[in-house]
Amino acid sequence: MTSALPRAEYPRPDRDRSASWLSLNGEWDFESEAGPTTIVVPFAWETAASGVARTWMERGVYRRTVAVPATWGEARVVLCFGAVHHSARVLVDGHEAGTHVGGYDSFEIDVSDRVRPGQGFELVVEVDAPADKREIPHGKQRSIPRDDYDGVSFTPTSGIWQSVWLEARGRTYLAEVAVRGDSLTGFVVSGRLVGDAPSSARVLARLGATSVELERADDGGVTGHLPVPEPRLWSPADPFLYEIELETAGEPDDRVVVTAGLRRIETRGEQLFLNGERLYIRGVLDQGYWPATGLTAPTEADLLRDLELAAELGYNLVRKHIKLEEPRWLHHADRAGMLVWAEPPAPSRFTPAAADAFGAQLAPMVERDGNHASIVVWGLWNEEWGLDWDIPGSPERAAAAAHAYDVLHALDDSRPIVENSGWAHVRTDLVDWHYYDDDPQRWADNLAAMAAGTLEHFEVRLGPDFVVDKSLYGSADHPRTGVPILNSEYGAGFTSLERAWSMRWQTQELRRHDRFAGYVYTELADVEHEMAGVVDADRRPKDRGGLVPAHVNATTTLVVDLVPAHAGADIPLPTESLTLDVHVSHHGASPLAGRVRAAWSTPGSSSAADVATVAESDAVKAEPFLLSEVVTLRIPAPTGVSSARLHLWFIDDADVTQASTFVDAAPIEEPNRRGARRP
């Protein structure tokens, strides 16, 4: 059955109380400077889906009548908001029931004393969304006056932009619950009780036949350990989730089912490990925008589709960029085994008040999202946005980044934390860097120097005529070794063909260097004027010239010893036998042995199916996380063609293709220092 309500699914499947709930999505009365109308919740008033489609309004008032189900009896009634940008004042029958500031985190208000089962009440939500967002966390929402990074900002998202709903709960209930399974043998369960008897109510945690009563504290806190006799670990290969039932005694009782996974993410020196096994991040940046609905996914299927797309493209991680995505997306990531790098939005200018507003999001972020097994990295600031691009020159701004790390680490020390993604690190568990460069020779040279530790600075274009050197480190005393180092933004090219070409060669160079712990490509989907997506804004594929991204991002890939000339012509069309040196990069658990084969095919072809092999290498062995020794292919020149594609693939000893890539050969009119074999 299809519901007429938009986004009618239960918003918190990871913390399930769906036995008694009521969606308040749909049409509300709406008042603004433009006059009275109606609006469709949960879509921001800037979006077409809301029915309003007005930008730069700074205030809106939502109003509707709500009837509490008579069947809820003596249960407590809790009003829940997924997210409202930026500040909200909630009234029930004309009386203030609660307020909230912060445009991305969830909040709830217990309205039990103001409503009655079987009776209706008027619900009003007054929202303020300032046009000047520079001192409030707003991510990539455009601001007036403009942000320093306005060129990569988008239409704002104002008002109610995630689901609104009512829940029936017990007379005493868990308002917060944290479940951590990083011991790999059981779950540490903690929470906070509110309601009639928070200091004395009995709370049972159940998992199958195992039941544990949580210890209580006078302030309503509860804690306990729930053992798992035969643990099944959560991983991308086996994303197994446990359902833990938490029951709080009362009249009526409260019941919530929390999903969680047993898994441990950790750093060991310069390497990442998941459940004790080496992890290499193959990630993609995702900004979570849709053309008609802004930051809100149009449907449940759209939300799930983005995770499916990332997996189809070969990625094992999604970096959800400066946006706290709705819990349903994280729940789907848990179920699909997709790793997540989560990070909150930031302000765009530094003041003490702006830094405080940024920090105020962290506890709600961890409380809401910390149970998700898929989240393996917490991010904080991004590229010194909100720190005025000035950590190296400002002890105050450097201290703000370090303080944010300390606050988050105290809230959750079970995941690596990146305090300032991109550059100028002062206190971090991962040294990550953002680097965009169209020149393949410079890209290859700089990556090699970074891997060797001889290059710490690289050019960053902060504006059309504003290019600066940025450093990996914000201070001279930051450790240069002993911390995992990885790229977390890259990509180049103007057309879709150029971007596919750059993805192929730039990713291979990242895979060349075993020191790196992974990469994050920019980006999954186009957003408004930003056309860097692997797919367009409607999630349709682009012309990639026969490139299969899943081959680029596979567990096993080929690394060819050449620096290409340009898209469509990596090397000049050979007129005599061609010699190529090739390596295998393998990130599986066990070694692979096999041979590299080559075959000429037509330009733009995606594989060498039905084409005769023209060359085969000697045997090569690929050890996990070590670039293989070189093997040399001697390939006869193609005949009777003006251009051709040379397919290369690695066949293991069982005759299974484990990796593939290609090299395009075509005339190169001007002499070019690129397109030659690497020294």
CB 585 within 8 A of CB 628: yes
φ, ψ of residue 540 to 5 degrees: the values are -95, 145
Report how far residue 235's alpha carbon sits from residue 600's, in angstroms, rounded to the nearest whole number. Answer: 39
> Tokens 């998941």 belong to which residue?
274
Residue 638 pLDDT:
94
What are the tens digits of pLDDT across the range 527-561? 999 999 999 999 999 999 999 999 999 999 999 99
CB 470 within 8 A of CB 457: yes
CB 97 within 8 A of CB 114: yes
- How would DSSP label each residue in 193-259? EEES-TTT--EEEEETTEEEEPEE-TTSEEEEEEE-SS--B--SSS---EEEEEEE-SSS-EEEEEE
Of 159, 97, 87, 88, the C-alpha closest to 122 is 97
**Which residues have C-beta within 8 Å of that of residue 283, sequence separation ≥ 6?**
315, 316, 317, 318, 319, 339, 341, 488, 518, 519, 520, 521
Mean pLDDT calculated for residue range 77-98: 98
CB 189 within 8 A of CB 205: yes
Alpha-carbon torsion (390, 394, 395, 400), positive or negative:
negative
Q: Rounded to 5 degrees, what angle do the CA atoms 63, 68, 70 make?
A: 160
Q: What pTM was estimated for this model as a whole?
A: 0.96
Residue 633 pLDDT:
97
Residue 187 pLDDT:
98
Q: How confident is the model at residue 351 (pLDDT cuts 50, 70, 90)?
A: very high
What are the tens digits of pLDDT across the range 11-40? 999 999 999 999 999 999 999 999 999 999
Report how far residue 470's alpha carbon sits from residue 326's, in angstroms, rounded to the nearest whole number. Answer: 33
CB 456 within 8 A of CB 472: yes
Instruction: Determine the number of helices (DSSP H) and then strands (DSSP E) in the chain.
Output: 8, 42
CB 270 within 8 A of CB 429: no
Residue 335 pLDDT:
98
**Which residues have C-beta within 8 Å of that of residue 166, sequence separation ≥ 6?**
21, 22, 24, 66, 68, 77, 78, 79, 80
CB atoms within 10 A of CB 197: 16
> Tokens 């190296």 belong to which residue?
392
Of 393, 508, 397, 381, the C-alpha closest to 434 is 381
Residue 98 CA neighbour count, 13 Å, CB half: 15
Mean pLDDT calculated for residue range 517-529: 97
| pLDDT over threshold 90, residue 175 | yes
| Residues 578-598: b if buried by 16+ CB within 10 A, e if exposed | bebebbbbbbeeeebebbbbb
Residue 460 pLDDT:
85
528: preceding bond cis by omega (within 30 degrees): no
Residue 598 CA neighbour count, 13 Å, CB half: 28
Q: At what angle do helices 496-512 and 440-452 cross, to 10 degrees?
A: 30
Report how far residue 264's alpha carbon sits from residue 267's, in angstroms, rounded to the nearest whole number. Answer: 10
CB 519 within 8 A of CB 283: yes
Residue 670 pLDDT:
66
Report how far residue 341's alpha carbon sits from residue 377's, in angstroms, rounded to the nearest whole number. Answer: 5
Residue 114 pLDDT:
97
Report how far residue 190's alpha carbon sits from residue 219's, in angstroms, rounded to the nearest whole number. Answer: 13
CB 416 within 8 A of CB 393: no
What are the tens digits of pLDDT across the range 135-169? 999 999 999 999 989 999 999 999 999 999 999 99
Instruction: Supply the mean pLDDT for the chain.
Output: 95
> Tokens 């201290």 belong to which residue?
399
Q: How confident is the model at residue 3 (pLDDT cuts 50, 70, 90)?
A: low
Report how far residue 326's alpha carbon sits from residue 295's, in angstroms, rounded to the nearest whole number. Answer: 10
What are the tens digits of pLDDT across the range 366-398? 999 999 999 999 999 999 999 999 999 999 999
| pLDDT over threshold 90, residue 259 | yes
CB 254 within 8 A of CB 327: no
Mean pLDDT calculated for residue range 415-431: 97
Residue 592 pLDDT:
97
Strand partners, 520: 283
Residue 78 pLDDT:
98
Task: Please count the residues of the chain.
Answer: 679
Mean pLDDT calculated for residue range 263-273: 98
User: 3-state secondary structure string, 544-583?
Assistant: CCCCCHHHHCCCEEEEECECCCECCECECCCCCCEEEEEE
Q: Percent of the chain, pLDDT > 70?
A: 98
Strand partners, 615: 598
Mean pLDDT calculated for residue range 167-190: 97
3-state helix, strand, coil in the chain (%, to 5): 15, 40, 50
- How would DSSP label each residue in 631-653? EEEEEPPP-S-S-EEEEEEEEET
Of 196, 224, 227, 195, the C-alpha closest to 209 is 227
Residue 128 pLDDT:
98
| pLDDT over threshold 60, residue 679 | no
Report how far residue 178's alpha carbon sits from residue 298's, in angstroms, rounded to the nearest whole number. Answer: 30
Report how far residue 365's alpha carbon sits from residue 321's, in angstroms, rounded to the nearest whole number. Answer: 14
CB atoms within 10 A of CB 435: 21
Of 79, 1, 11, the C-alpha closest to 42 is 11
